[in-house]
Structure 1
Amino acid sequence: MDGSSLHPHCRASEWLFPWRGLNSPPSSTINNPIIRHIAELANRASLRDTASYGAGLRKFHIFCDIFSVPEHDRLPASFELLHSFALWAITDLDSNDPLLSAANGLAVTFEPVSVDVARKYLTGVRAWHIAQGPPPLSDSHHDRINWSLRSLENLHGGRRKPLQPPISLTMLAALKATLILSDPFDTCIWAMASCAFFGMMCFSEVSHSAFNPLKHLTQAHTFFGHDLRGNPYARLDLPSAKTARARESQSVFLNEQGNLCPLSALHNLASVVPALANDPLFSWHDNKGDICPMAKTWALERINSVLIAWGWGTSFSHSFRIGGVSFYLAKKIDPEIV
């Protein structure tokens, strides 16, 4: 997370123990250093499978950042806070709901998960409480949260989004072969697709419904350089990302990837669609020469038309991120890095 004294940088499997709260937990042993040391050994040994808890704990802190929950209220977390966290985690944004749509415009992000995943998140937060000392919620509080989760599952059941298949290298190659890379619109589509795949980015991070330079990538957020071995790379500094803390940028690093290279795609985009520093990074120009930010609906419509023509059916916005993750895992990249 932020690398502070409360949330030091470490592997996800280790977060339960070094990540602490501002409040001192009640003592669980007599005040003797030997007994306290034995208690600490027992504490760590009782939670051997800690890797699965990291995602829930991280998601909990992201939720707290979004809704400006102070550190001293996070541990111990109240029933009200954990109930709210569970509601947020499963809520599927409904564009027809004016209040939810307005909230989304105020940087209240939603990335809904299933009820089972939300319960795993809560298990991770509960394990964090046990590891740190404060008592977890009572069974009656968990029953109330489960009631809400089941209710929201019923509410969203009729409009659940279909499973999103991953984009593969073959599909990516077909997309590039079909797009006209001298055309401003298609050139932008290809740069978005290549960067989203190899950068494991949400498609909303490369496209948008209403461009905002404070939230979306501009030309000024792009940097090219060479690493210590002389290999070229590109860095995209996302002003706002779903996996970043509030008001914190997040960097995506891209390197050379053969014929599907995102660096080449970005250089080609800059050549075909020259733009100013404050213009959208992923943009095209119309017949009048005006710079136009690429809308998500336009991009997906063009991408889907290509994939359908090749016989793969319809793709979705998270398919590039899922495909990128599958690509790096297949190359035996450490899952912790991915």
Structure 2
Amino acid sequence: MAHPEGSTTLTPSSSQLLPYPHRSDNTYATSTRLSHQLSRTLYSKGKPQHPSQGLTAPHSNENVQKSTIFSNDMPGPPSHRHKNGSTGERFTHTVQFTPKAGRPTRYAKDLCPLPSTRCLHVLASERLQLWTPLHGRETARNVPTNLSPEDIHQISVVIGKSWEESTLAAYGSGLLNFHVYCDQKDIPEDQRAPASPLLISAFVSSLAGAYSGSTIDNYVYGIRAWHVLHGVRWQMDTAELEALLRAAEKTAPPASKKKKRLDKPRDAAVYSCLTTTFYAAARLGEFTVPNLGAFNGAVHVKPSDVRIELDRNGLRSTVFHIPKTKTSPNGEDVSWSRQSGDTDPEAALAHHLALNKPPEDAHLFSYLKNSRYRPLTKTEFIRMVAAAARRAGLEPRQGHGIRIGATLEYLLRGTPFEVMKVKGRWAS
């Protein structure tokens, strides 16, 4: 067939010569007309017609050929490729679990689990990750079919990063005790996870009177963390568990109830700052400094800013003058009184001052490090308190949580709301 002068027969190979997104006007018109007619046919009123009925035939084979070429072979938008030619993909980064290089210590004779491929002899901090329950997330049957075992295993690896190394070690000790207890009681693997409330209660009861309350807390939280990490449901009754843990604290051996001495200078400063900030319902930034070089005697509290006052009833209060605050450029006073128990701010402050002996013109909570005084920064304070919370199996809190917690404590003691507003220096 002869073609008009100047026209070119398009073939699949020659279509590649057309630069994207250029297209023939004739082809575009033909394709658009076919689409409109197809729409009218499919959505016309009355009896539906077959899609091929009512379509206008193309005017020429050339147009049909052009339409086919551009509808099927037109190149799409350029793919995003790296310089080396490989196509970039998301969701390829993985968090790795790297076992430590050290060798685990030998088990004690009375704390040795039975040999098991699910409880390998590893470091205490690795037990949470490497000791696998019989029925965990990775052995579940109702998982999406397109997820690989590596995808599912990655969940446990990432969850394991939520605990500090010291917390993992404490939890690992609890997990060891739990499995040894189950071995002695002939508890099968499938009953250890998910552990029934009866089993957990029996385990806690077996520890009461022999361990400190905080140790038993860590053991229980370790078993719960093991369940969470491996996707096993934690079924323990909260009220029953809290009652058992309170009883464990009361029945702890006398030796475990001895007060812990804060003999390290930094520990004494942090604890004194914590109790002072709490019972004064103060802002954490008012008793710490932003960084090591930021101490300013005209802004931050010094030992010389502390005084003792007696009210008309002879009750003693320790008052701290803050030279400059967020709301008062001329400074404000905050105070606390002696408290009963280990959190007594008066005893904590006396211990800090006796151990660190900060100069009168230095930061109040300065502590000795390498024979030099270092002001207590807010970052260091939060880091130390967060580490202590994790060791105790508690969730770390932000600095403002101290002031909020203090307000709640005073209100629960019966302090009138208006009085608390004055103490906390709230305008409304």
Structure 1-normalised TM-score? 0.45
More relative contact order in 1 or in 2 (CA 8 Å, sep 6+)?
A: 1
Radius of gyration: which is bigger?
A: 2
Structure richer in helix, relative to its length? 1
Structure 2-normalised TM-score? 0.36
